[in-house]
Amino acid sequence: MDKKAITKEIIKYLQLSTMEPREKAMWMLLLPDMETEKLNKLKSALKKEVNAITDLYLEAASAT
């Protein structure tokens, strides 16, 4: 996956993350200068968080 594609995925995950708005703004500023390796690490962390939150939501919904 090229840098542009990874960045696009990160931007989507950023919107679903629990982080506060100013941290989102900070990452948006950093993204263009981040190396691919670091972008992948950030994407992985964000994806893990978003999946975990979504799973917890579905778990809570199915319990009722």
Partner 1 sequence: MLKPGGLGNPLELIDKAKDLFGGGPETSTERPTGNSIFDLLRGNPETKEKAEAIKENAEKERANVFLELGSSVYRRWFPNLAKFTDLAAAGAERVGIRDRGAEAVSWQHEFETITAFSLLTPDFLLKPLVDPLAQSELFKKMVDYWPTSIPDDMKANLNSANYDPDTFFDIIRVMNQDIAAGKTTVEDVLKLIPGGSLMGGGMLDRLRGLLGASS
Residues in touch with partner 1 (CB under 8 A): 16-23, 25-26, 29-30, 33-35, 38, 41-42, 45-46, 48-49, 52-54, 56-58, 60-62, 64
Toward partner 1, which CB reaches closer, 2 or 62? 62
Number of Cα atoms under 13 Å in the Cβ half of residue 24: 12
Query: Which DSSP state fits 57?
Result: H
Residues 6+ positions from 28 with CB-CB distance below 8 Å: 11, 14
Toward partner 1, which CB reaches closer, 2 or 18? 18
Toward partner 1, which CB reaches closer, 2 or 21? 21
Which amino acid, 42?
Answer: L
